[in-house]
Amino acid sequence: MSTVLLLPRLLVPVRPRLQVLEQMAVVIEGEFISAVLPRSEAFTRYADAIHIELPEHVLVPGFINMHTHSAMTLLRGYADDLNLQVWLNDHIWPVEKAFLSPGFVHDGVRLAIAEMLRCGTTCFNDLYFFPEVAAATAVETGMRACIGLPVIDVPTVWAADEHEYIDKGLQVSASWQNEPLITTVFAPHAPYSVDNTALQRIAELSDSLGLRVHMHVLESSWEVAESMRRHGKSTLDRLDDVGLLNERLLAVHMTQLNQDDLDTIARTTVNVIHCPESNLKLGNGICPVAKLLGLDVNLALGTDGAASNNNLDLLAEARSAALLAKGYAADPCALNAFQALEMLTINAARALGKEHQLGSVEAGKLADLCAIRLDTLQTTPMYDVVSHLIYAVSSQQVSHVWVGGRMLLQDKKFLCMDDSDIMQRANDWAKRITSKTRAMRSREYKFHE
Ligand SMILES: [Zn+2]
C-alpha cells in the first residue's frame, strides 16, 4: 500500500471548525486519511511517500449531495416552468412509464456521477427506481453512494405495489451490505404517495435494521391541504403516528412549516435536507433555514434531480442557499459561508449517521476529498477562502477529486470514465424520448416558415 501526501496551498478541514491551514500535508494510506500534519513533519515521517503538489489549490472534504434522483439527468430540460403536480403527473411520470429500464438508470446515473465528480461531490443520496443498477454504477465508477430503496403507490416495471417495493428493497440492501462504497436507506417517495401501512412497516424496519429513511416531506402547499383532506391531520402528525419522526429521517424540502412543525422537528431531531433551487424553480416555497438553525436542527443540502434544478452543482446550491436564507429572513447574518460549507460536508455526514467517517479532513476518516484551484480571475484577490468557496468559486475550478483514497479526477480529467461515451449515450436516449413523446411535451415552439 503506497502512502500519498497531498500538499495543498490551503486546507479547510471543516473540523475543527473555522480553521484555514497553510503548509500542511494530508496523508492518505489506502482508503483513509492517516494523518493531517505540518509538511516538515510529514516529510520526515513519510520519507518514501508519493507527493501530490497542489500549489494553487484549497483542499476541502468532498461534498455530499443529500438529495437527488441521479438517473433523471436524462430528463434534464424535458419539462420546465410547471407546478409540481402537473410536472409529475402530466410529464415526468408518463415519460418514466415509457422509458424506465435498467439501461436508462445505468446511463443516467453514470452521467450524473460524471457531473457530480466535476463539481467536487464524492457521495450522493439517491432516490430512484432500479436501485441495484444505481449501486452497481456507483461502484463501477468508484463513487460513494447512499442508495434509496424506493417505495411508491404507483406500479412500475420495478415493482407492482408498496409491499413488493419494500421486499425488493430489502433484497437490494442485503446484497450490497458488504460493499464499502454503498449504503442503503429506505426511500418512500412522499407522504401523499405511500399509505399508512407501508409507512408503518418502513418505520419498524428502519428501527430494527438501523436504516435511514429518505423522503420528500412538505414540498408544496398542495401536500398540506391533501394531508388534511385525506387523513384529517397534518403531515408531520401522521409521520409521527407511524413512527417515522426521529434522527434517522432525512426529510427533503420542508418548505411548508408552521410553528408547531418547527417545534416537532426540533423535538424529534429529524434531519432537514434543503434543496433551494428545485423549490424555487417549481415555485413550491422556501425552507425557513434561519429558524431551523436557531433550533439546532441538522441541515444539509441536495440538488434534487436534474429534471427540476437543472444541474447537480452543489457549490451553486450552497450559494443559492446562503443568499435565499438571508433574503427570506431579511438578515444578512443568516446562514454564513462557513455554515453553508458545513451543510455540504459534516452536516450531511451526520444526517447519514457517518459523522465518524465522512464530512471533514481528519485522521481516521475516509479520504473523500476535493481540490479547488484558486488562481482564477473570479477568486482574485482573496481575503477569506471560505467566503470564496461559497460566494465566488465556480465548480469549474474543481480540479481533483478522491473517493476512498482513489483519485477519480486529476487536473479536471477523469481517470475512470469517458465523457464522450457518456454524452453519446445520453443524446441517444434524448432522441428516443423526443421521437416518442412529442405529444406529451409542455410547450411546442412555433417556428416561422
Ligand atoms: Zn426530489
Residues flanking ion ligand 1, Cβ below 5 Å: 304
User: ∠157-160-163 over CA atoms, to 5°?
Assistant: 135
Place of cell 486546507: 11
Q: How far is the CA of 296 from the centre of ligand 1 (A)?
A: 24
pLDDT at 439: 53
Q: How far is the CA of 304 from the centre of ligand 1 (A)?
A: 5
Q: How far is the CA of 305 from the centre of ligand 1 (A)?
A: 6
Give helix then strand counts, H and E, for the chain: 17, 17
pLDDT tens-digit readout, 281-324: 999 999 999 999 999 999 999 999 999 999 999 999 999 999 99
DSSP class of 89: I
Highest mean predicted confidence (pLDDT) among 1-5, 85-89, 137-141, 433-437: 137-141
In the chain, what's the furthest Cα-to-Cα distance? Answer: 74
pLDDT at 201 over 70: yes
| Cα dihedral 344→365→36→117 (10° resolution) | -50
pLDDT at 431 over 80: yes
Q: How far is the CA of 303 from the centre of ligand 1 (A)?
A: 8
Sheet of strand 144-151: strand arrangement: 63-68, 121-126, 144-151, 182-188, 213-217, 249-253, 271-274, 299-301
Q: What percent of the chain has pLDDT over 70?
A: 97
pLDDT at 347: 98
- The lowest-confidence range among 318-332, 356-370, 431-445 is 431-445
pLDDT tens-digit readout, 49-107: 999 999 999 999 999 999 999 999 999 999 999 988 899 899 998 999 999 999 999 99
Q: How far is the CA of 22 from the centre of ligand 1 (A)?
A: 39
Whether omega for the bond prior to residue 16 falls within 30 degrees of 0, making it cis, is yes
pLDDT at 437: 78
pLDDT at 449: 44
Q: What's the pTM?
A: 0.97
Average confidence score pLDDT of the chain = 96
Q: How far is the CA of 208 from the centre of ligand 1 (A)?
A: 26
pLDDT tens-digit readout, 34-51: 999 999 999 999 999 999
Q: How far is the CA of 302 from the centre of ligand 1 (A)?
A: 9
* Interaxial angle between packed helices 162-175 and 131-141, expressed in degrees from 0 to 180 and rounded to the nearest 10: 30
Q: How far is the CA of 312 from the centre of ligand 1 (A)?
A: 12
The x, y and z cell numbers of residue 328, run together, are: 427570506
pLDDT at 448: 52
Q: How far is the CA of 190 from the centre of ligand 1 (A)?
A: 9
Q: How far is the CA of 120 from the centre of ligand 1 (A)?
A: 21
pLDDT at 443: 52
Q: Any long-range contacts for 89-94 (C-beta under 8 Å, 24+ apart)?
A: 90/440, 90/442, 91/440, 91/441, 91/442, 92/307, 93/154, 94/437, 94/440
pLDDT at 221 over 60: yes
Q: How far is the CA of 6 from the centre of ligand 1 (A)?
A: 36
The x, y and z cell numbers of residue 100, run together, are: 424506465
The x, y and z cell numbers of residue 67, run together, are: 438529495
